[in-house]
Amino acid sequence: MYIVIEKKADVIVDGVRKEEWQEYYRPWVDVKSLYGKELYQALSAKLENVLNFETRYCKKIKNLNTKNYRIVWEDRYFNIIHVDYGIKINKRVTIKAKEVV
C-alpha cells in the first residue's frame, strides 16, 4: 500500500510566513506493528501507536529526517521517530513513526 511522506515548507501568504506540509514522496510500503522485545521497549518508553513502515531505499528516502518530514497513511498522521537503513545499505529502509493523536 502507499503512504504519503510530507515535507514541512515555509510559504508566504499575504506577506506572512507560514509553515505548511507539502507532498514530498509517495512510496509503496509494508506496514508492520511492533512486536516482542521492540513492543515492550516502546511501551516502557511510553511510545504508543508506533508503526514500522518498510520500503525500498532511494535518494528521496535518504534525505528523510525527524524534524521536517511526516507520514500520512489512511487519513492518520505519523511523526517520524527514526529511519533505519539497516545493515544492507541501499536495499530496504524501515521508518519508525508515532501516530499523532
| DSSP structure string for 47-96 | --SEEEEEEE--HHHHT--TTTEEEEETTEEEEEEEEE--SSTTTEEEEE
Please state whether the predicted TM-score (pTM) of the whole model is above 0.95.
no
Q: What is the CATH number of domain 4-99?
A: 2.40.10.270
Q: Are 50 and 81 in contact (CB under 8 A)?
A: yes
pLDDT tens by residue, the chain, 101 residues: 899 999 999 988 888 999 999 999 999 999 987 666 665 565 555 667 889 999 999 989 988 999 999 999 999 999 999 999 877 666 899 999 999 98
